[in-house]
Structures are given as C-alpha cells and as structure tokens.
Amino acid sequence: MLTVWGRATSSNVQAVMWTIAELGLAHQRHDIGHVHGGNKTPDYLDMNPNGLVPVLRDGDGAPMWESAAIVRYLVATYGDEAFWPRDPAARVQLDMWAEWIKTSFGPAFAGQVFRPLVQLGSTPLPPEQLKVATEAVKPLALMLDRRLGDGPYLGGADLTFADMIVGNLLYRYYTLDFDRAVTPALDAYYARLSARPHYREHVMVSYESLRTRP
Ligand SMILES: N[C@@H](CCC(=O)N[C@@H](CS)C(=O)NCC(=O)O)C(=O)O
C-alpha cells in the first residue's frame, strides 16, 4: 500500500497521484499542506526536512520527497517498458524534458506567472513586470510545441513518466487567464490529456482555494 501526504490542490501532489492512478496502484492520501497544515510538525519534517508536499511511502519503506523523483520511483518499480524505458538512451530523450519542465518552464510559468496572479493576488505584480514574465513563457511553450509535433505523447504513441511530470502543469497553464503563445501541438496534447479520466480526476483540480484575494 502506498501512502501519500499532500493536498489535492498541489500540482506536485497531482503529478504523483496521476501516476499512481495510471499505474492502478492501491494507495491512501492524507490532506497535508496549505490550509490543512501538518507539514511543519517534527514528525513530518522527519519525513521531509523541506516541510513541503508531497511525501510518499511505499509500505514501510523510507519516505520519499520531490515529486519527479517519486514519479520515477513509481514507474521504475511498477511501470512497464512504455512508462519507463529501461534503455538509458531511449529514457534520456524523455527525461531531459522532465528535467526541463522542472527547471525551465515550471519556474517561468508557475513561479513567475501563476503564483503572482493567483497566490500573490493581494500584492499584484506591476503590469509591465507581468508582461515580461508572460513573454518569457512563450519561447518555452513554443519549444514544447515543436517537441510534441504530431504526438500523441512526449514519447510518441505511449504515455510515459515524462508526460506525468510535464503534463501536470498544463491544467493551470491553460485555465489561467494570461497571454499564451500560439501552440497548436501543445493545445492538442492538453486536449488529449484532458480526455484521460485519471488526469481529469487528479490534475484538473480547482485552484480557487489557493487564491489570495486583494
Ligand atoms: N520540488 C518540490 C516542490 C514541492 C513544493 O513546492 N510543494 C508545495 C506545493 S506544490 C508545498 O508544499 N507548499 C507548501 C504547502 O502546501 O503548505 C516537488 O516537486 O515535490
């Protein structure tokens, strides 16, 4: 039995929950973080010294944190060849996009656009600063659009671990009201993900409760 600590409104928890669901694994999840609290207690900090969500334990194994590391653990342990190619040369072609979303697209979109518009609503960014931030996301979205090409998924025909790590941000990317690049392949990819029941359940989760009102 897998145990996840983390609120359903966290995009990083969503990546883990979506993966668990696609793999069909038995699990329980505890609401931790944000309005639920519980992530700064000594017991929780023993599991994750960052005090962040998610944390995963597989049975009575050691706690794991960092959502992308958890996704990789899950697919390497429970996924088939399609989810987690065993050939390093094939896998790296996917993993580089998983790394890139965490270090390039994620910080540019989630950190500089989503967070100021949703979570820092009481201290909004000056419009010109927001414009700089939204313009910085455009070339990254265009890179992903070119990579996706005809899809259907990042690795081609099959859903892989990289889609879990990349795709979990797209619900927020497409539902937030801001100026996006024109990206037909990325739009089609998001439409494909949105048609997946597990994506709908675990990723397409309202973020209204995260909004800080002015
Ligand atoms: N790099 C970490 C980031 C974890 C993170 O920033 N989690 C946020 C939620 S997305 C958090 O715990 N925020 C504090 C809270 O919810 O109380 C990961 O991918 O797991």
93 & 189 share domain: yes
| Residue 48 token pair | 């994750």
179 & 122 share domain: yes
Using DSSP's 3-state secondary structure scheme, residue 64 falls into: strand
Residues contacting 85, CB < 8 A, separation 6+: 91, 94, 155, 160
User: What mean pLDDT is predicted for residues 162-176?
Assistant: 98
Residues contacting 34, CB < 8 A, separation 6+: 7, 9, 10, 209, 210
Q: How far is CA 186 from the centre of its chain?
A: 16
Residue 213, pLDDT > 70, answer: no
125 & 171 share domain: yes
Q: Which domain holds residue 110?
A: 88-203
73 & 92 share domain: no
Residue carrying the six token digits 């949105």: 194
127 & 185 share domain: yes
Which of 23, 43, 78 terminates a domain? The answer is: 78
pTM: 0.96
DSSP annotation of 153 reads B
How many of the other CB atoms lie within 10 Å of CB of 58?
18
pLDDT in tens, 27-73: 999 999 999 999 999 999 999 999 999 999 999 999 999 999 999 99
Of all atoms in ligand 1, which is nearest to the CA of residue 39? 17
Which of 30, 57, 78 terminates a domain? The answer is: 78
Q: Which residue has the higher pLDDT, 127 or 121?
A: 127
Which of 78, 103, 132 terminates a domain? The answer is: 78
71 & 103 share domain: no
The enclosing domain of 139 has a CATH number of: 1.20.1050.10
User: What mean pLDDT is predicted for residues 11-23?
Assistant: 98
Among 53, 165, 166, 212, say which to mutate for ligand 1: greatest number of ligand atoms within 8 Å of CB: 53
94 & 195 share domain: yes
Residues 124, 130: Cα–Cα separation, whole Å: 9
Burial class (CB in 10 A: 0-12, 13-18, 19+), 63: middle
The enclosing domain of 47 has a CATH number of: 3.40.30.10
| Number of domains the chain contains | 2
Q: Which helix (H) or strand (E) holds 57?
A: strand 55-58
Residue 212, pLDDT > 90, answer: no
Residues 197, 194: Cα–Cα separation, whole Å: 8
Q: Is 48 in the pocket of ligand 1 (CB under 6 A)?
A: no
Position 214 scores a pLDDT of 56
Q: Assign 153 a pLDDT band (cuts: 50, 70, 90).
A: very high
Residue nearest to atom 10 of ligand 1 (CA): 10
Among 9, 10, 74, 115, say which to mutate for ligand 1: greatest number of ligand atoms within 8 Å of CB: 10
The DSSP annotation for 13-24 comes to HHHHHHHHHHHT
% of the chain beyond a pLDDT of 70? 98
Contact assessment for residue 160 and residue 82, using Cβ atoms and an 8 Å cutoff: yes
Residues 96, 65: Cα–Cα separation, whole Å: 20
Q: Assign 120 a pLDDT band (cuts: 50, 70, 90).
A: confident
Q: Is 99 in the pocket of ligand 1 (CB under 6 A)?
A: no
108 & 174 share domain: yes
Contact assessment for residue 16 and residue 70, using Cβ atoms and an 8 Å cutoff: yes
